[in-house]
Structure 1
């Protein structure tokens, strides 16, 4: 007998349309021209992340601006379950876990379960198993769009022991209790990761703060410590499955951290020779020099691979006598970015040249002190970014564990 069978204790499960067990409210058509910087918060589709509602990049409104309709009737309270109805986040579910009231924007929907039949949190966990169904229901493609009618008519919800509402809600609550333990653990780990990242950032800044009277400070292009060399152009269509290791500038934002020994992309030896592509050697730091925002520019990755790596023309290699990981960590400090941002040209693509990078002043402590700093920051880096042994790995494992039990506990036989 499965764990789910034990929970059900032999009772039947009836599948009902969402409309039979739950009402639904569409959002209010707030006008972007009336958005405020403060006031009552509006939840838009971009605030729904697939599990929760995040009040980031929030717009606000003043109810007195609206003479027709009453936006205050579209409130969201703690415990409400929302869904994105259109756009890139179509079908994503969000649980509103905040105490502050917020308000539904158009294209955001709110589920209103019949409390005598359906546990709100049970519905939430169930909806998380229906992402593919919701995507198909929305029409898929480039412009998916959900309607409240299609949700109410076509989404089927399992109701255990439908003839005994009290027992049904007890079973639903037992399932919720089990699944919530997993989500709570994931939330705790995520909160710890956030705290550790803040701690990491703080210590990184502190470890690169030296008294100028005690430790030498030099421009990064000072020939006694290093020199910059720009990469050469190749395009994504040049990339192949095997060959000479290569770092494309876009991968600096999506894949690489403070150091790397292997690449995820390659080019042919023939291309390297025919285009005379630039190769960074072991111990050099690859620094990205172009991006969509000023904040993106300047992050470095110490190359520690056994063979050279080809670098894109939107990157520089920094051949240095300093500890390469020391330099890479420095390029991720506020101290460094405050120095280079005035040399970054802004536009559709922001960029910096070698001269601008070279003007940044870097502290040059003894090799032993550089190694000590690297050792400390390596521990923080592993804890906060490693997908093999740090907190991100632990969070990933807990999320998979939650999804396993969620699917097991919410997969019922359909006897409609």
Structure 2
């Protein structure tokens, strides 16, 4: 069955009326005292979540005055850029401020959950952004928003109309629930795998005195600082520029490190962050650790330092821009087992690392796919023919 056929079967011959939002809803006209508000029922743009993700408890609650009231079934929409894609279907009574619009359904032939689905459509957000006004902090145009056309199936038969709306809501809610369940399952599995990985890493890298030789890191490795460079100084190329964080800042046409490289970020919020690279890179605001051949394997050194990530982060100094001193890291004591034992430990930890990484990367990808699936069916179920199309 074609996409249009699916919708036609749902409508079963029923007509569709396109009504301005103002014909079926209005902005909230009631007020609520701050005395009745707390972190669970006060909603501002800060605790509304982007991309239709709902709300979280507020860290700020007004302590005086009256605010705009919302009730269960009302739809709250962020009304300041870049918060115009924040939307929530209220499930309680509460209050909000002028930065959030409260849409209150007034027509008994409109299911609030159905109206919420219509207003979560990307077409509405684009419409809202298109008509927003203001230079510094653009706001949605309340007169234009209230003119937004909403499709009402079978308006002449309220009972049938509500049944069609309820079926649309049921189908879309099922996708939302499946996404939530999948996210919870994958998140729990990822957490368990990380705990398992950390447990085995701690065990494998915990050596008793006398079992292995211990040396300071500077005795078994050389340290090299990165080269200062700005984005303007880079040339065209695909060499990652590695600085003070887990993600390359940009790319460059040259490299100053190649092969296996253990990197420790030198300054900034990620000062002390340990990473491993096995490709040409251009190292800038960081320093690299180069184990001596025949003594310490680079991948083993990486796991040793990663296992002590919290302690290395704790070495940060400075209030404005924290930084890690090379000399302090050089004096770090490390165990030096045989090369054969290092290879054995690395092989085990690599397996756990691969599994954890695949789950970490797969989780957002799977959620995105589920979200795309939901959006596809939402567009399909809300693609009612407009009067000119019907003609």
Mark the runs of 5 or more structure 2 residues left unpaired by the alignment.
none
Q: List 4+ stretches of structure 1 deviating above 4 A.
A: 26-31, 38-41, 214-220, 321-333, 359-365
Using the TM superposition, name which of 317-326 and 123-132 deviates more. Answer: 317-326
Question: Could you say which residue in structure 2 is the equivalent of 1:377?
Answer: 353
Question: Could you say which residue in structure 2 is the equivalent of 1:146?
Answer: 140
Matches within 5 A, 1:73-88: 74-75=69-70, 77=72, 80-88=74-82
Question: Could you say which residue in structure 1 is the equivalent of 2:20?
Answer: 17
Question: Could you say which residue in structure 1 is the equivalent of 2:59?
Answer: 59
Question: Could you say which residue in structure 2 is the equivalent of 1:221?
Answer: 217
Pick one of 361, 366, 371 that aligns with 1:399.
371
- Please state if 1:285 is matched with 2:285: no
Q: Cα distance 1:289–1:141, how it changes in 2: closer, same or farther (>3 A)?
A: farther
Question: Could you say which residue in structure 2 is the equivalent of 1:194?
Answer: 187
- Please state if 1:109 is matched with 2:110: no
Give 3-state SS (helix, strand or coil) of 2:46's partner.
Answer: helix
CA contact (8 A) 2:236 2:253 kept: no
Q: Cα distance 1:146–1:373, how it changes in 2: closer, same or farther (>3 A)?
A: same
Give 3-state SS (helix, strand or coil) of 1:11's partner.
Answer: coil
- Please state if 1:268 is matched with 2:244: no
Q: How many residues align?
A: 371
Offset of 1:372 from its aligned partner? 0.8
Pick one of 66, 70, 87 that aligns with 1:93.
87
Question: Based on CA coordinates, which of the two structures has the bigger radius of gyration?
Answer: 2
Q: TM-score scaled by structure 1?
A: 0.76
Deviation string for 1:260-280 (max 9, x for gaps)?
xxxx953235xx6xxxxxx22
Using the TM superposition, name which of 16-25 and 209-218 deviates more. Answer: 209-218
Mark the runs of 5 or more structure 1 residues left unpaired by the alignment.
257-263, 273-278
TM-align CA RMSD: 3.5
- Please state if 1:316 is matched with 2:287: yes
Offset of 1:362 from its aligned partner? 5.5
Matches within 5 A, 1:305-344: 305=279, 308-312=280-284, 314-320=285-291, 324=298, 328=302, 335-344=308-317
Give 3-state SS (helix, strand or coil) of 1:88's partner.
Answer: coil
Q: Distance in 1 between matches of 2:305 and 2:31?
A: 45
CA contact (8 A) 1:229 1:354 kept: no
Give 3-state SS (helix, strand or coil) of 1:290's partner.
Answer: coil
